[in-house]
Structure 1
Amino acid sequence: MGNNFVFSWAEDAQGKMVHVDDVPRGLACGCVCPCCHEKLLARHGDVKEHGFAHHSDNRGANLNICYMVILYKLAEQIIQTRKKIHAPSYYGIFKEKDIEFVDVKIDGRYEREDKQPDVIATTKDNQQYIIELTFDYKVQHKQAPDYKNLNCLEINLSNQTLESVEKFLLEENTDRIWFNNQEYFDSIEPRYEMANKRIEVKNEDECKMCELYYSCVGVRAKENGSILVIENSGKRYRICKPEQYDVAVEERRNRLKEAEERRNAFNQDSSYSMYKRRYREFSDATEESTRLREKQKQTGDLQAQLDASRIPPSERTCFMCKRNLTWWKSNDGMAHCGAYYSMGVHQKTPPDSAQTCNGFEPK
């Protein structure tokens, strides 16, 4: 007789996913497993055995894989019948929302054989969305799909069950990302313009040539404060703020000029002046440390104030960091990061690198 591993959904003779409560008992249900195509029994028993079970004892199919395929097929059908999906936010620029469709195709192909989307859905304004349903260990296509210049939403079903998947698809925003969204991407600059904010979407390859790449003043992600990087059509982009960029470039060049002047003056100093200068720098650092401790006592939160994330990035310099080798070649105006190799920065580290450095630790 059948196995005790039961499912609440199965595939009927017409290829439609049906619930066990909606079909006759036993083999009369006419249902099969969409994975191994084994006949299923519909059990209308107690809670433990209420559901579909594989009929034979020697089928040899992996029941976990069978469950995933049933879940996958059910998710496709839910999107097709309900003609709706809840889409996540697009990098915090566009809010999460329900997207309603007028036409939904499943098990289709998209123009070329290497494009095999799970769901192709079209809205009333003729916007087309490719929806990929995945698991943590999804079987890949023979050739990687190419969804460049399309609207593609990827949804991970790994944390769902047959009972939870409908609410998950139609109401929640977790376990899903915009693999690509050309409509939103093309609307980024107009979106900011409507808010009277001047921005420019820049290819990150171009950004790497910028003198402010490691101290970028572009738009930052709301969740963690890091530079916002948008992925679209296989490329990465940043959102530049031209006005702030011009100011930051001027300030940086002024700092470099001042550093050069200090270095020249230092090279002309006598030994006494050199020690006097170092003593003054040490005194200034001690005074700053004392001021920070007093500030921490006033707030009553010493540990939080010591946390590097509480020091505004714009105020950080490498000279505040534990990794700074101030004793080594300190006459060249550079910070000389002690962990430059692992941090991926130049050995002669510009002091303002601390403003974007993930390894910044205050002294």
Structure 2
Amino acid sequence: MARLNSVKMTYAINRTGEIVSIDNVDNGLECNCICIDCNGQLEAKQGAKNQWHFSHHKDNDAINCQWSGESELHIKVKEYLDRYKRLTVPIGFTNPTSLDIQFDEIQLEKSLRPTKRIPDVTGYCAGEKILIEVKVTHEVDQQKRIDYKKVNVSVIELDFSDFTFIDTRIIDQEIDLYFRNPICNWLTVAPVGDIASQFQEHERAVTKELIVNNQNLLREAGAMVDYINSYRRRYEMSKSRIKDASERLEEVKNQIHHAKSERNEIIHSAAGLFNSTLDQLQRDHAVRLTAEFNENHRLLNAELNEINVVIKSKKDELAQIQHIIDQQDNKVNEIRKAEKQLNIEKNNFHQRELDWNKAAKANAVIKRHFMRLEPELRGMCRKGGIPWPFEGTLMEELSPSKDNAQ
């Protein structure tokens, strides 16, 4: 908003005391106008090149004057509201909707009794009074809000803190563009009237919707818990099957080790027998040695053939065992994939649980809001002589149990 410092003055007070635009006066000192802020004499600058504007005739007046671009913007906004008498306002504090108000009457700078406060604009719509404050650099202070609330009047603040414009003069088109989607919020809302009724109806609907959404989230969370428990049981069963497969695999490994040991013992025994026979042959004569050697050689070949048969059988068993091991590895991989999917679904459930917790916190905030609001509403009803419209408390009125009972 630093550009406000460069805004030129386009409004002044004429000799009859009215606020006039630079477009509706004579040029130079013939305008007969004074400054809105310091009452210093002004000169109308209506040249062919620069934007038309007022300037102080005396430099001393310009130095001491407190007029700013914020004053210009206030006047522009008030002029727009007085001319078109319309405003789009939010309805509700939670997920607000929009309401287009067409005022029957607009009054500027009218004192609000008995507070002696002077709002920027006072509008009347169907007999209901709505005060309008314009915020540029300073918002309505806390004491002023309290004074407005004491007299039970609806007050809305238009936020122009981020208002932007192109040149050194604020034009009507820029103001009109802002009012197509104004940034505003309610400072106070009267306890009775059309605005109050629409606020109450909106908040009631939003609260009921939040309650329904919370119930749906609870049901979804319960279903998710059942789903996770089902996967947990399947996971435990898979762990048990893996354990059994591991035990069977260990048993097969032991059998392979035992078979290898037996084979080595047979080979070692055959070698010992051969060496023993050879020693015996050395002590006997050559003929007997040759005959016994031939016989032992025949026997040894027979034993070796048997050993080869046993080795071949063991190789076949090892091939079958390797096939079983490969099958078990495939099952282990499938179980790991299932475990990975289970972790993903577990994370998804955790996220849903976080979303549910957020919704629960939001519900708690709404409950506290209504518990804090109910004493004020009851006090307003008593002050206005209006009976309490509900059979019980505000929370009982909005509770799901009452809706079900109805």
Give the TM interval when normalised to the shorter protein: 0.5 to 0.7
* Cross-structure match for 1:43: 45
* Cross-structure match for 2:135: 134
CA deviations over 1:33-83 (Å, ceiling 9, x no partner): 223333211123223163211112233548895232133124223423x25
Asked if structure 2 preserves the Cα contact closer than 8 Å seen for 1:84 and 1:170, the reply is: no
* Cross-structure match for 1:11: 13
* Cross-structure match for 2:219: 250
Counterpart pick for 1:186 among 194, 197, 205 = 197
Asked if structure 1 preserves the Cα contact closer than 8 Å seen for 2:56 and 2:62, the reply is: no
* Cross-structure match for 2:347: 319
Closer/same/farther in 2, CA of residues 23 and 356 from structure 1, 3 Å limit: farther
Query: Given residue 156 of structure 1, which amino acid in structure 2 is its aligned partner?
Result: D
Task: Please state how far the C-alpha of 1:10 moved relative to its aligned partner.
Answer: 1.9
Task: Please state how far the C-alpha of 1:134 moved relative to its aligned partner.
Answer: 1.4
Task: Measure the CA separation in 1 of the matches of 2:346 and 2:119.
Answer: 48
Q: Is residue 174 from structure 1 mapped to residue 143 from structure 2 by the alignment?
A: no
Counterpart pick for 1:71 among 70, 73, 81 = 73
Higher strand share: 1
Task: Please state how far the C-alpha of 1:131 moved relative to its aligned partner.
Answer: 1.1
Task: Please state how far the C-alpha of 1:240 moved relative to its aligned partner.
Answer: 2.3
Q: Which is further off, 51-60 or 266-275?
A: 266-275
Closer/same/farther in 2, CA of residues 25 and 244 from structure 1, 3 Å limit: closer
Task: Measure the CA separation in 2 of the matches of 1:249 and 1:167.
Answer: 49
* Cross-structure match for 2:112: 110
Query: Given residue 70 of structure 2, which amino acid in structure 1 is its aligned partner?
Result: M
Q: Secondary structure at the match of 1:59?
A: helix
Asked if structure 2 preserves the Cα contact closer than 8 Å seen for 1:7 and 1:52, the reply is: yes
Closer/same/farther in 2, CA of residues 139 and 172 from structure 1, 3 Å limit: closer
Task: Measure the CA separation in 2 of the matches of 1:47 and 1:318.
Answer: 71
Task: Please state how far the C-alpha of 1:163 moved relative to its aligned partner.
Answer: 4.2
CA deviations over 1:137-195 (Å, ceiling 9, x no partner): 2265482424556443322345256543476359832342232556445226757xxxx
Closer/same/farther in 2, CA of residues 94 and 251 from structure 1, 3 Å limit: closer
> Counterparts of 1:145-160 in structure 2 under 5 Å?
145-146=145-146, 147-148=148-149, 150-158=153-161, 159=163
Closer/same/farther in 2, CA of residues 255 and 51 from structure 1, 3 Å limit: same
Closer/same/farther in 2, CA of residues 94 and 26 from structure 1, 3 Å limit: same
Task: Measure the CA separation in 2 of the matches of 1:11 and 1:169.
Answer: 24
* Cross-structure match for 2:336: 279
TM-score of the superposition, structure 2-length normalised?
0.48
Task: Measure the CA separation in 1 of the matches of 2:241 and 2:234.
Answer: 8
Higher helix share: 2
* Cross-structure match for 1:29: 31
CA deviations over 1:322-356 (Å, ceiling 9, x no partner): xxxxxxxxxxxx84xxxxxxxxxxxxxx7421478
Q: Secondary structure at the match of 1:249?
A: helix
Asked if structure 2 preserves the Cα contact closer than 8 Å seen for 1:36 and 1:61, the reply is: no
Closer/same/farther in 2, CA of residues 244 and 68 from structure 1, 3 Å limit: closer
Closer/same/farther in 2, CA of residues 112 and 282 from structure 1, 3 Å limit: farther
Task: Please state how far the C-alpha of 1:84 moved relative to its aligned partner.
Answer: 0.6
Asked if structure 2 preserves the Cα contact closer than 8 Å seen for 1:133 and 1:156, the reply is: yes
* Cross-structure match for 1:214: none
* Cross-structure match for 1:120: 122
With a CA cutoff of 8 Å and minimum separation of 6, indicate the structure with the bigger relative contact order: 2
Task: Measure the CA separation in 2 of the matches of 1:356 and 1:145.
Answer: 35
Across the aligned residues of Structure 1 and Structure 2, the Cα RMSD in angstroms comes to 4.6
Q: How many pairs are equivalent?
A: 252
Closer/same/farther in 2, CA of residues 270 and 88 from structure 1, 3 Å limit: same
Query: Given residue 13 of structure 2, which amino acid in structure 1 is its aligned partner?
Result: E
CA deviations over 1:227-259 (Å, ceiling 9, x no partner): xxxxxxxxxxx5525555444333334545666
Asked if structure 1 preserves the Cα contact closer than 8 Å seen for 2:88 and 2:182, the reply is: no
Query: Given residue 127 of structure 2, which amino acid in structure 1 is its aligned partner?
Result: N
Query: Given residue 155 of structure 2, which amino acid in structure 1 is its aligned partner?
Result: C
Q: Is residue 164 from structure 1 mapped to residue 133 from structure 2 by the alignment?
A: no
In our comparison, the structure showing a higher alpha carbon Rg is 2
CA deviations over 1:202-241 (Å, ceiling 9, x no partner): xxxxxxxxxxxxxxxxx6xxxxxxxxxxxxxxxxxx5525
CA deviations over 1:81-111 (Å, ceiling 9, x no partner): x2512314547764453x3323322223334
Task: Please state how far the C-alpha of 1:266 moved relative to its aligned partner.
Answer: 10
Q: Secondary structure at the match of 2:336?
A: helix
Task: Measure the CA separation in 1 of the matches of 2:115 and 2:242.
Answer: 72
* Cross-structure match for 1:57: 59
Q: Secondary structure at the match of 2:26?
A: coil
Query: Given residue 46 of structure 1, which amino acid in structure 2 is its aligned partner?
Result: A
Task: Measure the CA separation in 2 of the matches of 1:111 and 1:56.
Answer: 39
Asked if structure 2 preserves the Cα contact closer than 8 Å seen for 1:34 and 1:69, the reply is: no
Asked if structure 1 preserves the Cα contact closer than 8 Å seen for 2:10 and 2:72, the reply is: no
